Amino acid sequence: MPDIPWSTPTPAAPGAEVYVMASRFETETLTGALRFFLKAPGIIRQIRKAPGAHGAALRARVGRRTFLTLSAWEDRDALYRFAGSEPHRTSAREAAAYTKESAFTFWTVPASELPIGWAEAERRLAERKRSH
C-alpha cells in the first residue's frame, strides 16, 4: 500500500527550532494493520489542520503489519494538543487493542532541516530501542 508522503500544513518560521516525533507501530494481526491503515488518512487530515503542525508523513507496510509516522511541530505542546484531540485521541485508544508493539522518539532540529527523511527517523527509533 502506498505511503502518505510528507506534507507541510504550516511552514515553520525561518531559523525556528521544531519538535520532531517519529513512531513505529506493529499490529498483532493483518486485520489490525488494515484498521490502522484505514484510520491514517483521517489523522493526516487532522494534522494538516492542527495549529503548530509543520509536517507529517506515514510509511505503511501493511503486509508486515508495521507503520512509521513522522511529524514536525512548533513545540511539544502543539504535538500534545493534537494527540489529545479528536479523531486522534479515540483512534489511538482503539489501536492500542490491536497493537503488538509501539515506539516513539522525539528530538528538535532547525526548521531548515525539514522534511526529515525516513532514514533519520528509522535510525533514531533503532537507537532508542537499543538504549531501552
pLDDT at 123 (0 to 100): 96
Residue 119 class from Cβ within 10 Å (0-12 exposed, 13-18 middle, 19+ buried)?
Answer: exposed
**CA 20/CA 18 separation, integer angstroms:** 6
Beta strands 53-61 and 99-110, pairing class: unpaired
How crowded is the C-beta side of 101, counted as CA atoms within 13 Å?
Answer: 9
- What are the backbone dihedrals phi and psi of residue 69, each rounded to the nearest 5 degrees, phi first? -120, 155
Q: What is the mean pLDDT of each run of 10 residues along the chain (132 residues)?
A: 87 96 97 92 92 96 95 98 95 93 97 96 92 76
